[in-house]
Structures are given as structure tokens and as C-alpha cells.
Amino acid sequence: MKITDLKCAVIGGSPMVRVTTDEGISGLGQAESPKHYLKPHVLFYKPYILGEDPTNVERVMLKIRRLGGFKPWGSAVSAIEMALWDIAGKASGLPVYKLLGGKVRDQVRAYNGGVRFEMRGATPQDYAEDMSKMKASKEGFSIIKSSIGFHSQMPARVPNFSYAELRPGAPHPYRGLLTERGLKHVIACIEAMKSVLGDEVGLALDCGPGWMVPDAIRLAKAVEPLNVMWLEDLITGDYTPYTLADVYREVTRSTTTPIHTGEQIYLRQNFKELIEKHAVNIIGPDPADVGGIAELKWVAEYADLHGILIAPHGIFDGLIGLAALVQVCATLPQNFIAFECPAPKPAWWYDIVEGLPETIVKNGLIDVWDRPGLGVDINAEKARPYLAEEDKGFFD
């Protein structure tokens, strides 16, 4: 079997990858939905993989893996890797999890990072009301993640929140020391959310990036009695092209509150220092950023050897990305907590993707399906109306 083409089309904002072969088997991959600009970057890799056997996934990846980079540039490589595993599974008649060594669990836990409701403000009451709605959602999530601090509207909506200059622009631009009022406000919002969730549903908190070490330690110690699941990306995070493991280690060693990072990191080599220095308690690689499905599994296994937990990121990965997360998370060791469940928008994504169960998440869990490859596909005829004119040949 040989690769004959690499195609990319932006469908509903998401760059979709399709790898075709001379035996009529094709595979799908998906980059995160905000990354519509990645199409030329995906196609950059085409001459490197044409003529290769797609079922030799690692051999193909050796040709292109070093040509990616930290979020967002690893996403193109990651989506191609997903498509290769999809082909390998279809060619062998096996689900991808079988090719990764077999499943450890029949159901995988997903946490709520994407089922969201519009918040009127950023007060403790607003957060409590928001948590009540999410707790009542039909998916029955056992873990809910909420955005606070620099990963929220607090800097703009709470007067005198921080000593930092407010800078509009790229995602999550704020960084600086919080005022006493700002820190107390964050803690009050967390307490309000926990008052709703109690010990029935775990609360994870997406915090930054942008916190200074003293504030990060103060926050982590203040919420120790609340038993939150984790504090995520306090120091670095979205679109930050470095890890600062030594800085994270200072925070982690100062508290019993679990500290989490990793969604922006590309490749196992860039997790090495975080893991070996025990700089965090939990890592959160995204299969659409880390280099793909197998790369995430490698990182998870290495983290497990060091007693570090894993809760993969995935909020923008779409339904093809959801399938990839289900397949790989079924195979992860027992340091796996849950993965962040994508919530595709627009809603018509559910109409054009075939192979998903009618109810995907039940009581916070997803049944691992056994269809070949990733186990899902796109209905070409239903998807064609959403293709740009330049992408009309995507399914040919």
C-alpha cells in the first residue's frame, strides 16, 4: 500500500486531513477548530509522505515529526498521524486501540471542558449558577473544568484585579501579580463552585497562563481544603512555546493541590523535563498537538513510570479528534484520569460524522467502540455543502 495524496479542507472552521492510498483506503485526521490557518502547513508535508506505506506509521512520522513545533504548529503533524492510524486500522480490520497494544478499559472517562453556557458576569454567584447548569447537563460528567484568573474574563471584569497592564490581542495575553482583591475574588469564585458541586462532581480549574509564582502558591494553598482536581496552566499554557519546569516545580512542591500543564507541548522530548523533575502532578497532552495518538501514549507511559497522572486536553479536537481520544485513552495505563471531551460547533458536525453512538457520553463515560480504524467517518454527500469551492475535490 502506498500513499497517493494528502488533502486538507477547512470544514466548519476545522482543518480536516485526508490521506489516500493506491488501494482505495483513506484515513481522516482533524486539527483543532480555531486553527483554520493551518491548511498550507498541512500541505507542506505532502512531498515527504507520498509513496510511503501508511501502515508503517512510525516510519512515515520519522520523516515529518521534527518539522513541527509547539502549539499550534504541531497540529498539522498530529492530524496526519491520526489519519495514518485510521488507515492502518482499516487495512487490518482492527480498531486503532488494538494496534496500540489493546485496551486497558472498556469505557473511558471524559470531563466537561466544552459543554458551556453563557455567563452574565464573573462574580461568585455567576460561577455558582454556571456550575449548576453544567452539573445538570445530560452527559452526567463526573469532572467539570471551569476557567478562572487569567484564563477568564476576570481581568477585564473585576476592578483592580491585577497589577498587570491589560493587553488585548493574542489568546490569554495577561501576565502579572494579582492584587489582594483579585486573589480573594478568585478564591471566592472557586468556593462558590464547590458549594454547588460538593463531593459529587470533581472541579478542575483552567487558570492561565500568566500567574506569578507567589500568587500561584497562595492560590494553591488556599484551595487545599476544597480538594479541587487540579490547577491548570498557572505559569505557562496556551500558545506558550516553553515549559519552565523549574518554575512549575516550585509551585508543585509548595502545595498538596494537584498542578497540571501540557496542552501546548509538542513531542515526548518536551515533556521529559516536566516528568523527570516531577515538576507537575498531572500532564495534559492533546493528541492534536503533541504529535498524534502514539506520541500521547508514549508520554503517558513515561509519566506513569514517574508517578505522574494524565488528563489529556481535547476541547477543540472535533468528532474525529474525539474518536482518536477514545481509541488512545482506552490503552493508557492507570495514571489516566479522564480526557477533555470536545464539543463540536456548529451542531451540524453531528449530522455529517457517521459511526458515533447516539448518546456519546453517559454518566461521564464513553463506551469504547470496535469498528476498524478510528471507527468514524464523514458522510461526503452531507459534508459537501460545507466545503469551500477550492476544497470541492476533498472527498474524490
pLDDT digit string (tens) for 126-140?
A: 999 999 999 999 999
Give the residue from 259, 262, 161 showing the smallest Cα distance to 217.
259
Residue 366 lies in a domain: yes
Which domain CATH number covers 29? 3.30.390.10
- Statement to judge: residues 344 and 327 lie in one domain: yes
- Statement to judge: residues 10 and 123 lie in one domain: no
- Statement to judge: residues 231 and 335 lie in one domain: yes
- Statement to judge: residues 194 and 308 lie in one domain: yes
Average pLDDT for 8-24: 97
For helices 57-64 and 74-92, angle between their N-to-C axes, nearest 10 degrees = 160
Tally of structural domains, the chain: 2
Q: What is the pLDDT of residues 39-64, one digit of tens each?
A: 999 999 999 999 999 999 999 999 99
Residue 396 lies in a domain: no
- Statement to judge: residues 169 and 152 lie in one domain: yes
Residue 151 lies in a domain: yes
Give the residue from 28, 143, 137 showing the smallest Cα distance to 359.
137
Q: Give the rounded percent of residues in the chain with a pLDDT score beyond 70.
A: 100
Q: Give the rounded percent of residues in the chain with a pLDDT score beyond 90.
A: 95
- Statement to judge: residues 16 and 150 lie in one domain: no
- Statement to judge: residues 118 and 83 lie in one domain: no
HSE (side-chain half, CA atoms, 13 Å) at 213: 11
Residue 186 lies in a domain: yes
pLDDT of residue 213: 98
Q: Over 90: is that where the pLDDT of 97 sits? A: yes
Residue 195 lies in a domain: yes
pLDDT of residue 171: 84
- Statement to judge: residues 84 and 207 lie in one domain: no
Give the residue from 42, 73, 45 showing the smallest Cα distance to 264.
73
Q: Over 80: is that where the pLDDT of 169 sits? A: no
Residue 340 lies in a domain: yes
Please report, in angstroms and rounded to a whole number, the separation of the first and last CA atoms in the chain.
18
Q: What is the pLDDT of residues 172-197, one digit of tens each?
A: 888 999 999 999 999 999 999 999 99
- Give the whole-angstrom CA distance, residue 32 versus residue 327: 18
- Statement to judge: residues 195 and 329 lie in one domain: yes
- pTM for the full model? 0.97
Q: How would you classify the pairing of strands 259-261 and 353-354?
A: unpaired
Q: What is the pLDDT of residues 276-295, one digit of tens each?
A: 999 999 999 999 999 999 99
Average pLDDT for 11-30: 97
Residue 194 lies in a domain: yes
pLDDT of residue 168: 77
Q: What is the pLDDT of residues 310-369, one digit of tens each?
A: 999 999 999 999 999 999 999 999 999 999 999 888 999 999 999 999 999 999 999 999
Contacts of 222 (CB under 8 A, 6+ apart): 183, 187
Domain extent for 124: 98-377
Average pLDDT for 149-178: 90
Which domain CATH number covers 114? 3.20.20.120
- Statement to judge: residues 7 and 118 lie in one domain: no
pLDDT of residue 165: 86
- Statement to judge: residues 217 and 257 lie in one domain: yes
Average pLDDT for 79-92: 98
pLDDT of residue 338: 98
- Statement to judge: residues 317 and 343 lie in one domain: yes
